[in-house]
Structure 1
């Protein structure tokens, strides 16, 4: 049976450490809980799924119901040769799942070590780092569709993954609640070490292995990114912009050394952090908010900031990047 709390403080449930309150807070474990909850939900009442709160910016009190996944099981569904399909509950901490996989010699998600948040959010955002994305291993996503009052299993193809994007951020936004995700892992993994800093760190640790890749990625992330328990933040606040190759080539001529990566279909991906840094924002502070001193993609709450404060800073940064480079950078975080 689902649980209910009234007037729930959200300060400890978002990594930005923004003070806000939800009128109702409902914990659920599975499809039966959701069927019962939505049967009782008054018509027209808003709802929002909040997992670990690591990619969310509260913009005020939420006058509706927050749904919070409590399903925390990890189980092997089947083995076919070297392939192992693992079902992970939406409420499992993502990094706990990565650790579980590495400890069992199962590869595929080790490059995504130390990414905060719940496993249920991984396909929504199509989380990615160091040459890997969630879509590389997602087999299917089980979710509940309140409008249709049924549970469905969406294949990876049906999830329509893109760069930090999926069907859950578009057509199914506000229309699906993820219950679990099945990941396809391998007992004979192929290591992805095309990022130089990861590759060099792995060599220092003794060579290629799941354990060394996980340790290397974890160490690098801890060195570059602030701990949300110490300094409120949501990790990368902005997406890396994808632009035409023509624009990328023009900018590369104007700014030698500008990071640029081929994105296919006549497109190139630029480094948003580099653009923000060149606009002079890295390390700057405005009142209770600022840009982290070591990573320009990360906006931080020094204490007492509101969601409006963070959005105001983000707006200034986006405006400066657009004015200087003619490039629009979009927010990666979700607004609540």
Structure 2
């Protein structure tokens, strides 16, 4: 018997803390449950939604759907060769705990992604990234289950079609798969990345030589200073993508604002710092109703209490409009909206 729950409160299952109730809810702890679920004709009439850590979602108040919470656990070393360790983790594993575990085993590669909220299974969907590293840099393959019939498929890294904060699971394959396990290729030839953001400065302040564990600690320190704890104030981390613009537009903005923060992003394109744009547009620390942009980091949208999806939508549109008017740059929200 599947442990289906009804009218399930999801307020504590999304880090923005938005009020949301799912008509049907299933905590998935075993892949066999998913096969059984796919044979359950009575639930086929409902839309199915896959829930990870809830750290990248903007939920409506009523969800007339079956919400499948991925609670699959397990992590292990699959194999190793002369170049790398191949490490597998189940989709329901906490991302930061998994990163910490890999470093404890002496396997580097994910340290720049420390303290990112969410689950292992959700990480490839968003192609999470921070401080010069993205999940795609170490992902080898993943196993996903088709919602339609429960069949399993292995996706190679190339088949995931990764791009900046994006993958096929947000595009052509959106809403079709549940990611059950991810395999990472962690290189034995360690390449420590310390030249992005405040990591180098933090390492110097800690008086630590560059190492994977030291970078992880630096990342944790910086993130804890800049980003609010969802247990204290509801948020979904960085809310907007750093926009990638043509060199011509970047030059126009730079001419009017010489202090613009930007980075090369391929031929004739640059990535602009969305937080900088939002702050200069006057939104840092500013509220619109119960939602606002965080006072310490303009890129983070926060719920000051009582916000709904509609409140988040109004604030998102207002910030986008002001940035567009001031800089001619279009901002895109990162989270998934149900």
User: Normalized against structure 2, the TM-score is what?
Assistant: 0.96
Q: Distance in 1 between matches of 2:134 and 2:265?
A: 14
Task: Say whether the 8 Å CA contact 1:48–1:67 is kept in structure 2.
Answer: yes
| Residue in structure 2 matched with residue 27 of structure 1 by the alignment | 27
Q: Distance in 2 between matches of 1:274 and 1:200?
A: 19
Task: Say whether the 8 Å CA contact 2:121–2:181 is kept in structure 1.
Answer: yes
> Counterparts in 2 of 1:1-336, with a 5 A limit?
2-41=2-41, 42-205=43-206, 206-336=208-338
Q: Distance in 2 between matches of 1:10 and 1:201?
A: 37
- Superposed CA offset, 1:176-206 (max 9, x none): 1100100111344110111252012123332
Shift of 1:274: 0.8
- Superposed CA offset, 1:240-288 (max 9, x none): 1111111111111111010111111321111111111111010112231
Task: Say whether the 8 Å CA contact 1:75–1:88 is kept in structure 2.
Answer: yes
Shift of 1:6: 1.0
Which secondary structure does the structure 1 equivalent of 2:121 belong to?
helix
Query: Where does structure 1 lack aligned partners over 5 or more consecutive residues?
Result: none
- Superposed CA offset, 1:15-50 (max 9, x none): 001111001111223432212112214334101111
Task: Say whether the 8 Å CA contact 1:30–1:179 is kept in structure 2.
Answer: no
- Superposed CA offset, 1:65-85 (max 9, x none): 101111110111001124100
Q: Distance in 1 between matches of 2:148 and 2:309?
A: 30
Which secondary structure does the structure 1 equivalent of 2:232 belong to?
coil
Q: More displaced, 92-101 or 147-156?
A: 147-156
Q: Distance in 1 between matches of 2:236 and 2:197?
A: 25
Task: Say whether the 8 Å CA contact 2:131–2:197 is kept in structure 1.
Answer: no
Cα gap change, 1:69/1:260 in structure 2, threshold over 3 Å: closer, same or farther?
same
Q: Distance in 1 between matches of 2:205 and 2:333?
A: 35
Task: Say whether the 8 Å CA contact 1:31–1:151 is kept in structure 2.
Answer: no
Displacement over 3 Å in runs of 4+: 41-44
Q: More displaced, 222-231 or 139-148?
A: 139-148
- Superposed CA offset, 1:145-200 (max 9, x none): 13354101000000000000000001110111100100111344110111252012
Q: More displaced, 146-155 or 118-127?
A: 146-155
Q: Distance in 1 between matches of 2:80 and 2:292?
A: 48
Task: Say whether the 8 Å CA contact 2:38–2:148 is kept in structure 1.
Answer: no
Q: Distance in 1 between matches of 2:336 and 2:260?
A: 28
Q: Distance in 1 between matches of 2:304 and 2:128?
A: 26
- Superposed CA offset, 1:54-106 (max 9, x none): 01111221001101111110111001124100110000000000100111111
Task: Say whether the 8 Å CA contact 1:145–1:177 is kept in structure 2.
Answer: yes
Q: Distance in 1 between matches of 2:214 and 2:2?
A: 40
Alignment length, in residue pairs? 336
Q: Distance in 2 between matches of 1:61 and 1:153?
A: 33
Task: Say whether the 8 Å CA contact 2:38–2:149 is kept in structure 1.
Answer: no
Cα RMSD between the aligned structures? 1.3
Task: Say whether the 8 Å CA contact 1:225–1:294 is kept in structure 2.
Answer: yes
Shift of 1:305: 1.1
